[in-house]
Amino acid sequence: MNSKNRVYQVVAAIPKGKVLAYSEVAKLAGIKSPRWVGRHLHVNEDTNFIPCHRVVRKDGGVAEKFGGGGSKEHKRRLTKEGVMFVGNKVDMGKCGWKMNGK
């Protein structure tokens, strides 16, 4: 399986209301750089199956160049799913997801 498919597999598993950091997706997908996660997600053509909006920076920040309309759209999609924010950053303590189900 190539790196893009591994990234997509990890991201597809993130449940509604939860997020993972780019660095966490990279680690789980077995790739070295979180930047590759961003590159793969930027060309995602199936946002219904691969919910790329559920991936954020490790500090909870949303992507300024989010493909579907910038940071405002990124935050809107997450808020719609129940993701909680503290200011402009996701509350990673409450909404960060661990692949083991926590």
d(CA 94, CA 89): 12
Integer Cα distance of 3 and 10 in angstroms: 11
CA distance 84 to 3: 30
- Among candidate residues 52, 78, 92, 95, the one labeled active-site is 52
For residue 59, the one-letter residue type is: D
Residue 52 annotated as catalytic: yes
Residues catalogued as catalytic: 52
